[in-house]
Structure 1
């Protein structure tokens, strides 16, 4: 008996296969461009790793997840659980093709919602302030963080193509800061005054600004989303001053966002969970050490796998299958 978790990430779609005792059996990733072009198949990759008859439940994350606010059976979710794919970063179609493959499999599956204004589980102040806070894989990342640490009051910092920081209080997600609001990621970041002017003057779309507002803006790097992180890190490794400034700025904005979430937590923060391809990095810089320069050992820092989105989704699938009725405050409705 196994469970599968799927992370609909920015650069690719990751899967975790987990045994019924919680052991991670395998994690693999499909590139978005390759999926769209039919060069890789989710069905083939899954079936060569596991007998489909042994899969008891699969948990899926997809796009913004703003069309649902409960964990639901996939076949009961309309429009794949999203209101729109516009204005949400670069759309390649790779995630859509993978979702279509998963729908055709004879596997029971559930969908995890994103965090947004209609999420009844969130603090009402966050819901009033922000229409969207985080996509569904951030929920599974937080669940993996909870499983790894056992903490009830903590902040998850997921730093990768985008940066999203999430506050968990009393074991429930209180709220989050989305990539377009505060901290920079490698690719995405907040839209500032210059970008607003460029949008108003017709020089760029809001989505294009958002998709070039991360560290790559400072480093002067452009290209495919799947490649720019490696270019940035190689430049940093070679001593490029703009790349170093870009990484240092990214880390500073993440530190500010974490500190802001700490301020509004009514309980004492037990620690900070770091994840994502940058948040878990140990070279060419150690992200944990670099961000701790701001925190000065105030927090206990815990680095978890950069594949925490897929792993956490598999953990959600397993716990929902075993009867859990809520995940981080989000209602499970599979009846």
Structure 2
């Protein structure tokens, strides 16, 4: 059995798949339970059985200290260069990572999207980091789920509307581009945010630049956004990411797009604003639009574990290092 583990704003998401890649279980653990009790391995053993895990993949933060998929025991600082601006150095994600590190569960760590990935178009290496490893895992899910619709040189855009609004471009099975500007919780700093950071600290600067904090709302409001205007802003942010990536597909040799894959819990919202339906209508002229199911990041991480165990040299163009559980390396 292969397991994927992702920490998100709403909780720790876990998915398990068999050798055939079929999902056997997926569930979410409340972040607070992990942070206070650290009971992650106990829950995993109860729900799945630790002895049944052939290989697990964990995602953590930006994942910008590694350029390859590596064994957890070889990853420094949980795979991050630093946590400036992220404000979860001691949260549930860190707890899960450390529990896995100290356990006997064979585990690999997935890089995030950052300038060190050779697979990226040169334009996207301007920023030192663009997104966490969970987004890479989600794109691996999209490639698997809709593989029948892509030819070997095809291209698709995966787009997420959740705590963040992000989109990634995959061409010929390789991660080649990524955009992230602003979402409900996270956003890139502007001069005002930099000034405030200098005056106080940078620990949570990215958490202060999203749509919710800029409106003075509590970040817990992300669990049930009822503001129609805010959801419309999420819609525009989502479209900006998709349409900004589209020209790169042609520049990289793709003959148009094979699909646009919509992901994230806000894509499933109908009230007070039908976000997913509106994005569908705006993108359907670019390519066939497909909706992803829940737990895509955890499922994608589980698929990465299966890839590694099968002896894959790369996943989405990201090299696989010398890791435990990999065969024929």
Aligned to 1:79: 77
Q: Does 1:214 align with 2:210?
A: yes
Aligned to 1:146: 143
Deviation at 1:332, TM superposition (A): 0.8
Change (3 A) 1:296 1:113: closer
SS in 2 for 1:297: coil
Residue pair 2:231, 2:275 contacting (<8 A) in 1 also: no
Once the two structures are superposed, residues 159-204 of structure 1 have per-residue CA deviations (whole angstroms, 9 ceiling, x without a partner) of: 21112211111110012123xxx2x32211233454455556x3x6
Taking a change above 3 Å as real, the CA distance of residues 213 and 7 of structure 1, as seen in their structure-2 partners, is same
SS at match of 1:6: strand
Residue aligned with 1:265, SS: helix
Equivalence for 2:40 = 42
Partner of 1:132: 129
CA distance in structure 1 between the partners assigned to 2:285 and 2:56 by the alignment: 39
Q: Secondary structure at the match of 2:54?
A: strand
- 1:190 maps to what in 2? 188
Q: Quote the residue 1:30 is aligned against.
A: 29
1:231 Cα shift?
A: 4.3
CA distance in 2, matches of 1:292, 1:111: 33
SS of the counterpart of 2:141? helix
Aligned mates of 1:286, 1:108 — CA distance in 2: 42
CA displacement, residues 258-288 of structure 1 (integer Å, 9 cap, x when unaligned): 1010022222111211111113434554322
Residue 110 of structure 1: how far off its partner (Å): 0.9
Which residue number corresponds to residue 295 of structure 1?
283
- State TM-score, norm by structure 1: 0.86
Question: SS of 1:86's equivalent?
Answer: coil
Helix, strand or coil: the match of 2:321? coil
1:319 corresponding residue in structure 2: 307
Instruction: Verify the 8 A CA contact 1:8 1:95 in the aligned structure 2.
Output: yes
TM-score, with normalisation over the residues of structure 2?
0.88
Q: Distance in 1 between matches of 2:272 and 2:144?
A: 28
Residues 214 and 250, structure 1, Cα contact 8 Å, conserved in 2: no
Alpha-carbon deviation of 1:33? 2.7
Name the residue aligned to 2:159: 157
Asked if the contact 2:65/2:80 (under 8 Å) is kept, the reply is yes
Is 1:228 the counterpart of 2:237 in the alignment?
A: no
Where structure 1 has 5 or more consecutive residues not aligned to the other structure, the ranges are 237-242
CA distance in 2, matches of 1:44, 1:199: 39
CA distance in 2, matches of 1:103, 1:217: 34
Aligned pair count reads 314
Q: Choose from 117, 120, 123 the match for 1:119.
A: 117
CA offset at residue 219 of structure 1?
5.0
- On the 8 A contact 2:10/2:223 being kept in 1, the answer is no
Q: Structure 1 residue 250: deviation in Å? A: 1.4
Contact 1:189 1:210 in 2 (8 A): yes
Displacement, 1:108? 1.3
- The equivalent residue for 1:239 is none
Aligned to 1:240: none
Task: Please give the alpha-carbon distance, in whole angstroms, between the structure 2 residues aligned to 1:75 and 1:91.
Answer: 18
Query: Pick from 62, 65, 89: which aligns with 2:63?
Result: 65
Q: Deviations over 1:17-53 (max 9, x none)?
A: 1122222111122232321111x61111111123322
> Is the CA contact 1:90–1:211 (under 8 Å) kept in the aligned structure 2?
no
2-side partners of 1:143 and 1:109: how far apart? 17
Q: Name the SS of the counterpart of 1:10 in structure 2.
A: coil
Residue 211 of structure 1 aligns to a residue whose secondary structure is: helix
